[in-house]
Amino acid sequence: MDLLSNKWIVNLLVCCLFIGVGCNSVEKKIYVHLNYTVPCVRLLNATHQIGCQSHLSGNVGVLHVLESEENVDWVLRSGPNPPYLVILESPLFTRSIMMKLKNGSSRVAGVAVVAPSANPLEGVSPHTTCPNENTGVYTENYDPSLAHCNVTVWNPLGSGLSYEQFDFPIFSLKDDNDTQVIRQCYMDHNRAVNGSTPQYPLCAMQLYSHMSAVTDTATCMRRNDINFSISPEMVCDPLGDYNVWASTRPINNTAKGHKMWESVVIAAARLDSRSFFFEVAPGAESGVSGFVTLLAAAHALRNATQEAPPNRTILYTFFQGETFDYIGSSRMVYDMQNNNFAVDLDNVHSVLEIGQVGLRADSRLWLHSDPVSRKNDSVNAEVRKLIESLQTAAKGLNVSVNEPGFSQPLPPSSFQRFLRARPIPGVVIEDHQSAFTNRFYESMYDNAEYLNISYPPNLTPEEQLVFVTDTAKALTEVATVVARALYIQAGGAESQLEGINADPQIVTRMLYGFLIRSNNSWFQQRIPPDFMSHLTDRPTNFYVGVAQQRSELTHLVQYLLANLTGSTANISQDNCQNQREDEKDKESKHMYSYVWVQGAAPPNSTKREGFCVRSTVRLSKALSPAFDLRDYTSKNYSTWTESRWKSIKGRIFLVASHDLEMLTLGVGVAVLLASLLLTYIMSSKADILFSSGREPANATY
């Protein structure tokens, strides 16, 4: 015992001594950890990997602030100290520059993009020009002349950057003091003045974003399986979440796949969006404008569907993961076909989908329909009726609804997945006649600013929350049109239409909650107490995420939809949380879902008064069927997975020259060897040096 601890102390002493000597003061003079960095991560599908990654130990490069596109030559050829870590101001974050850097990736250690605080003037979209090109209905089998956006290129500004694969890390930095430190470090140390070569020490940056998964989804799922038996270490996870749905009549959700006597009209919108960077997905026009409109329409229909219920049930559906090859809608259709959903596909009468509706020029909405299924007379007649319903619904409102006026396929939409299954009549409402009006489709700029949501100066957050913006007024009109059209479509009487009106107060609060900050009193009153910690002072993130966890967005939409379409039930908290009306009740849970929400505090009190909300709101899986079928090379279903990673971080410091580093390393190694030798000598002679005399020294060897 004594002997062992003696040896340990000797070791420690020797090491401390030499570390003191070996430490070199040039190596890391300044050392700033970057706090607000957002990486680009690796995603995989059946055939490709996209996104970015670093080496396991991070990528280090000499900082170079790119000043213009011509300047890229310094990075790729003339600069004397490669590899470089390129700092890009966002206007230079273009396909042309990024592809040059990608091609010269041996001299590029990474890229950091400084996100601007205001949107650019020109349109920018890192998405593809033809979103979800291969998984919609327009394939070669359906109609070759319409496949691959042959007639209409929906997103002409799309650069496709989000779908490229880079061998180096790419981070986004907020334009703040950190970024100022970086610029200053570059100016002080790295800038070539008058063509001279910058001298060491140089300012360098290190970025960590090592990704565990490689090649494609089949490969990473196989590795998941293999390693699960040895150690449960996963390398990738399927993208996915939950769809949210509700019906105007309660439907027995336990009895799957039964044919009902009445048919349903599906009112659909999608929830998710994305951008180049991980979890930066503001999706204001591409997602929020549509689903907020549908939420407001569902609310507008609550009274009418209860007091004068139309013959058909309206099914509100909010799809998740649509950005990644229609995960949510393909799953719902698949479940409907396989008797795994409360409604059978045969019961679907028609579909009305709300797409991007936030940027209407001249208050016009465009009604898109599928020219192929409309060749069938009965489908065509139903589509005509639906279009007429929409025109009737828009009467007297500041909205005009039009057909595009020429034959073109549907824009990217969940409805396409229904058409893949069978020719169901349907219409997709958009604010664009052909190509998107959205100039920032699936980019970090598709935000509240772009939707023109602005408030008078000097309003407190709570005042902003209740301020009715012009955008909210405009979307309220759209929601009213949608609600009235759905009512007619469901067989309701036109005499009731006057009473169906969306509420601008609610629309403006939802826009504020999703696009400015979710932590506001209006949202707080409508959620369960344990969900409070998920509300933030930032806009909601609309990236779908991985399938094991439900995102904040899914929950928020679930609670809001319950509040907007359900009713308050006089039920105890305990019964509410156990999905029953009272202790004996075992049936209600099949028809309704119950949520205990925290409500508001009465005027003189700080204690909130919770209550129970009874509604028909349900969640259903939005995981691509490819993963249930274990068909990881599927051509019909989404195969997107997200790689796992250990750490995402960045820092900057000064590096000495390569020669000096090598010298330091050499000295370090020499010191290490010397210390090992010394340790060995000392411990082998320990019985002499530290004579304890109780045990022979070689007993431990």
Ligand X SMILES: *[C@@H]1O[C@H](CO)[C@@H](O)[C@H](O)[C@H]1NC(C)=O
Per CB under 6 A, residues contacting ligand X are 33, 35, 45-48, 50, 100, 103, 134, 144-145, 150, 163, 176-178, 193-194, 212, 223, 226-227, 233, 235, 252, 254-255, 300, 303, 311, 491, 525-526, 563, 566-568, 587, 590-591, 599-600, 603-604, 613
- CA 555/CA 619 separation, integer angstroms: 9
Smaller CB distance to ligand X: residue 18 or 36?
Answer: 36
Burial of 648 (0-12, 13-18, 19+ CB in 10 A): middle
Smaller CB distance to ligand X: residue 105 or 664?
Answer: 105
Please give the order of strands across the beta sheet that includes 108-115. Answer: 31-33, 645-655, 202-211, 59-65, 84-89, 108-115, 170-174, 37-39
Residue closest to 453 by CA, chosen among 469, 467, 438: 469
Q: Hey, which residues does 569 pair with through a beta bridge?
A: 612
Say which residue the tokens 């997905």 belong to.
281
- Rounded to a whole number of angstroms, the minimum distance from the CB of residue 590 to ligand X is 4
Tokens of 468: 């009715």
Burial of 548 (0-12, 13-18, 19+ CB in 10 A): exposed
- Rounded to a whole number of angstroms, the minimum distance from the CB of residue 629 to ligand X is 15
Smaller CB distance to ligand X: residue 64 or 526?
Answer: 526
Smaller CB distance to ligand X: residue 178 or 335?
Answer: 178
Say which residue the tokens 């299954």 belong to.
421
- Rounded to a whole number of angstroms, the minimum distance from the CB of residue 46 to ligand X is 4
- Rounded to a whole number of angstroms, the minimum distance from the CB of residue 45 to ligand X is 4
621 with 242: CB under 8 angstroms?
yes
Among the residues of 448-495, which ranges form H helices? 461-466, 470-489
Which residues are CB-neighbours of 618 under 8 A, at least 6 positions away?
244, 245, 246, 253, 342, 593
Backbone angles phi, psi at 113, to 5 degrees: -105, 125
Tokens of 624: 């691509």
Smaller CB distance to ligand X: residue 194 or 458?
Answer: 194
Smaller CB distance to ligand X: residue 120 or 499?
Answer: 499
Smaller CB distance to ligand X: residue 46 or 202?
Answer: 46
Among the residues of 596-651, which ranges form H helices? 625-628
E strand or H helix that includes residue 289: helix 289-300
- Rounded to a whole number of angstroms, the minimum distance from the CB of residue 400 to ligand X is 24
Q: SS3 string of 316-353?
A: EEEECCCCCCCHHHHHHHHHHHCCCCCCCHHHEEEEEE
Smaller CB distance to ligand X: residue 5 or 311?
Answer: 311
Long-range residue pairs from 119-123, CB within 8 A, at least 24 positions apart, any chain: 119/440, 119/445, 119/447, 119/449, 119/450, 120/90, 120/91, 120/445, 122/439, 123/157, 123/439, 123/440
- Rounded to a whole number of angstroms, the minimum distance from the CB of residue 252 to ligand X is 4
Which residues are CB-neighbours of 308 under 8 A, at least 6 positions away?
492, 493, 496
Smaller CB distance to ligand X: residue 122 or 307?
Answer: 307
Which residues are CB-neighbours of 227 under 8 A, at least 6 positions away?
233, 234, 235
506 with 327: CB under 8 angstroms?
no
Smaller CB distance to ligand X: residue 471 or 563?
Answer: 563
> How many CB atoms sit inside 10 A of residue 311's CB?
10
Smaller CB distance to ligand X: residue 8 or 228?
Answer: 228
- Rounded to a whole number of angstroms, the minimum distance from the CB of residue 399 to ligand X is 19
- Rounded to a whole number of angstroms, the minimum distance from the CB of residue 682 to ligand X is 39
Smaller CB distance to ligand X: residue 50 or 428?
Answer: 50
Q: Computed over its alpha carbons, how large is the radius of gyration of the chain?
A: 30
Angle, helix 552-565 to helix 504-515, in steps of 10 degrees: 170
613 with 562: CB under 8 angstroms?
yes
599 with 524: CB under 8 angstroms?
no
Say which residue the tokens 């309220």 belong to.
476
- Rounded to a whole number of angstroms, the minimum distance from the CB of residue 414 to ligand X is 18
Smaller CB distance to ligand X: residue 178 or 477?
Answer: 178
- Rounded to a whole number of angstroms, the minimum distance from the CB of residue 662 to ligand X is 27
Among the residues of 395-469, which ranges form H helices? 415-421, 461-466
Smaller CB distance to ligand X: residue 217 or 286?
Answer: 217
Smaller CB distance to ligand X: residue 311 or 549?
Answer: 311
Which residues are CB-neighbours of 665 under 8 A, at least 6 positions away?
none
Smaller CB distance to ligand X: residue 3 or 595?
Answer: 595
Q: Hey, which residues does 112 pair with through a beta bridge?
A: 87, 171
